[in-house]
Amino acid sequence: AETWWSKDLSYLNAEVIQRLNAEPANSILLSNMGNDYTNTGDLVSLSYGLSPDRRLFLFSDQPDFSTLKAEPNLLTFRPSKPLKAAMATQGWRLAPVVESAKLWRIQR
């Protein structure tokens, strides 16, 4: 089995991996430590299942989005409230891909 009922927080990681691997090549997944600092383990988990042409871009508390301006396909996984706020200041909106897993497409 790819997941167990007891893996509460990570339960949907297999679905997230499938969805990310179905995205166009060179898609970038943005994330940070999250609201409760649990993202790190899940991002490691996701990295094992992602296709090699999928990239992770991890932010600190002061994100710099300048290197992502030309990237056509951005998604975010469990962004913290400060990261969401920083995205909003860029004019970015979040559209659900797997809402229950907090996987969002960034629309600019």
- Of 101, 108, 106, nearest to 19 (Cα)? 101
pLDDT by residue (tens digit) across 82-93? 999 999 999 999
What percentage of residues in the chain have a pLDDT greater than 90? 69
Query: pTM for this structure?
Result: 0.87
pLDDT by residue (tens digit) across 26-62? 999 999 988 776 688 889 889 999 999 999 999 987 8
The domain limits of the chain are 13-107
Q: Is the pLDDT of residue 64 over 70?
A: yes
Q: Which band of pLDDT confidence, cut at 50, 70 and 90, is reported for residue 11?
A: confident
